[in-house]
Structure 1
Amino acid sequence: MHNLAKLYFQGIGVPQDENTGLMWLAKAAAHGHVIAEQQMAALMQRAKAEG
């Protein structure tokens, strides 16, 4: 799931789609993927700082 998220974020082999990438990243984090959890936490911090 984490690798699929990266492919969508970068548009490698699939159309580039940040929303779909985020969905797969969130699924990976929800299933306990440590790196995905860290990336989601960083995105949440960034969103708080911007919002």
Structure 2
Amino acid sequence: MPLDFEIHHAQSMVSFTFEIFANGNSDKKRDLPKRQISPDILHKAKTLFQLFVA
């Protein structure tokens, strides 16, 4: 399996995990809209993950 495919797959899994996390929290905080993760935090997490994978 080519490395770039593995990295892309891992990134999509991370995005999927963040979506689950964002949607899961909405049960406890009904006044907040779903996917209430700031883009800044999401960007930092993805950057950190890319450094970890690279």
TM-score, length-scaled by structure 1: 0.36
More helix by share: 1
- RCO greater where, 1 or 2, for CA within 8 Å and sep 6 or more? 2
Structure possessing the higher radius of gyration over alpha carbons: 2
